[in-house]
Chain A
Amino acid sequence: MLRRRSEVGSTTVALSLAVFLVLMTVVTVYIFMAKVWWFPPAITEFGHEIDDQFGRTLLITGIVFVLAQFGLAYAVFKFRDQGQKATYFEGNNTMEIVWTLATVVLFVGLGLYARNAWAQVHFQGAAEGALPIEITAQQFVWNFRYAGPDGKFGREKPELVSASTGNPVGLDSTDPASKDDIVAPVIAVPVNREIELIIRSQDVTHSFYVRELRLKQDAVPGMEIHMHFNAAVPGNYEIACAELCGLGHYRMHSMLQVMAQEDFDKWVKDQEAANQ
């Protein structure tokens, strides 16, 4: 009698566990496939590559995820205690070798496949004629500097930094090259133009992050990190800080404005006028 009860109990639990695992898997896969919460559309070429690589990775991990969770669900239900005798085996070398090699090929292959997108972002420098923009992060503001008509960034000195009097990056007005530099709290770029970013930080580590660019780069004090992109779709995109930088981390926010060349020229003029 006791025996029977334990077997019934084991069937209930096994079934519940199996059903939960299947449900959890199905719901998870559904939300991923339906893209209920998803990336915004990419606006860079490497952004599309990254999305493709994400898709490949999702496919492979998705298959493994479903197989493993379903396999577990099946095993717990099928092999629940029904008074049977367990079969004795200690392993199977052929199977071990097969799945070891299979995962090596799959995982390392996936890693190698991802090289292309990474190479576009990092192994290649900015294209010839790129528009340089210097980003200086500080607690909890982004500053964007354009070199102006002379194409040269003027000298900066830490001791001249004074956010309160309108010189957040410490521009040295005695340097002629700094006269025409523009410093803005938002970044405007012409569409379809290669942009070279020079990313710096004044105080602690921040991270420049624009979802639509598929780009994230820490701004590390003491370093100048170069990145480049070419945005293909005009629009306004949000910049959020992605590296903990202090109590105002969550509100360290700015905008990336991608606009037509003529709009950009006008924007530059307006900024120059404002800087006078």
Chain B
Amino acid sequence: MPGTVAEDLEIIDAGRGGGTGTPAGGDDDGGSSGPLRPVPRRAYFTALQLGLAAIVMFFMALASSYIVRRGLGLDWQRTPLPPVLWFNTVVLLASSVTIIVARRKLEGGEREAFRSWWWVTTGLGLLFLAGQIIAWRELAASGMLLATNPSSSFFYVLTAAHGLHLAGGIFSLFYVTLRNWKRSRISQSTAAELTSIYWHFMDGLWIFLFVLLTLGR
């Protein structure tokens, strides 16, 4: 409601944002008014978190379908989980450790050590994927194909979906080491940090899926 002129002019000065002369910032890491700033570093982290949220929804949809479909399960047959999955799990967990070590080395300025540990991580990632393919072959050899049973259908779908996402992580691992970062807006260490968050997430996702498949098969 309109009040006195003085009061209203105060509204004009302050806007909605607060009482001081300098407006509260939409951004908090920039300087004062000046040239347009580049995309701030944290935008990459925001985007990554949002991407992970979307991935969570995707896997939740598959996982809840799994649980629902199993609940209907007059035709549900037990799918034997190939033992190689245990080995793969250990490999993936190890890769999460090596990526942590790699990042420590990068922060400590030991570039050579970083590169070695990073390659080790990449290698372990590839090993995991190879292991998953072996698991598929074993399962297929035992007669459990994609369409054999809902249990095996879900096994293939979930592992394939995870494998594809993990392959994206491996691409990103290669990208961090092979790209020329001098001409980039973000530093190599930022890229390495983003990749490692994604990598840990893929690791955690695999543990979740492995537990789900073990309990649900």
- Closest CB-CB distance, A201 to chain B, in whole Å? 16
Nearest-neighbor residue (CB-CB) of A223 within chain B: B72
Chain B CB within 8 A of A84 CB: no
Residues of A within 8 A of B1 (CB): 88-89
Chain A CB within 8 A of B2 CB: yes
Chain B contact residues: helix, strand, loop or mixed? loop
Nearest-neighbor residue (CB-CB) of A92 within chain B: B1
Residues of B within 8 A of A87 (CB): 2
Interface residues on A, range: under 10
In whole angstroms, how far apart are the Cα atoms of A89 and B8 in the complex?
11
Interface string of B1-44 (1 = CB under 8 A from A): 11000001000000000000000000000000000000000000
Interface string of A77-106 (1 = CB under 8 A from B): 000000000011100000000000000000
In whole angstroms, how far apart are the Cα atoms of A89 and B2 in the complex?
7
In whole angstroms, how far apart are the Cα atoms of A87 and B1 in the complex?
8
Nearest-neighbor residue (CB-CB) of B2 within chain A: A88
Nearest-neighbor residue (CB-CB) of A87 within chain B: B2
- Closest CB-CB distance, A224 to chain B, in whole Å? 13
Nearest-neighbor residue (CB-CB) of B16 within chain A: A90
Nearest-neighbor residue (CB-CB) of B72 within chain A: A222
- Closest CB-CB distance, A96 to chain B, in whole Å? 15
- Closest CB-CB distance, A222 to chain B, in whole Å? 8
Residues of A within 8 A of B2 (CB): 87-89
Interface string of A128-152 (1 = CB under 8 A from B): 0000000000000000000000000
Residues of B within 8 A of A89 (CB): 1-2
- Closest CB-CB distance, B5 to chain A, in whole Å? 12
Interface string of A167-202 (1 = CB under 8 A from B): 000000000000000000000000000000000000
Residues of A within 8 A of B8 (CB): 88
Residues of B within 8 A of A88 (CB): 1-2, 8
CB interface residues, A 225-258, toward B, < 8 Å:
none
In the A-B complex, list the 6 residue pairs whose CB atoms are closest, starting with the nearest.
A88-B2, A89-B1, A87-B2, A89-B2, A88-B8, A88-B1
6 contacts between A and B (CB under 8 A): A87-B2, A88-B1, A88-B2, A88-B8, A89-B1, A89-B2
The interface of chain B, by Cβ under 8 A from chain A, is 1-2, 8
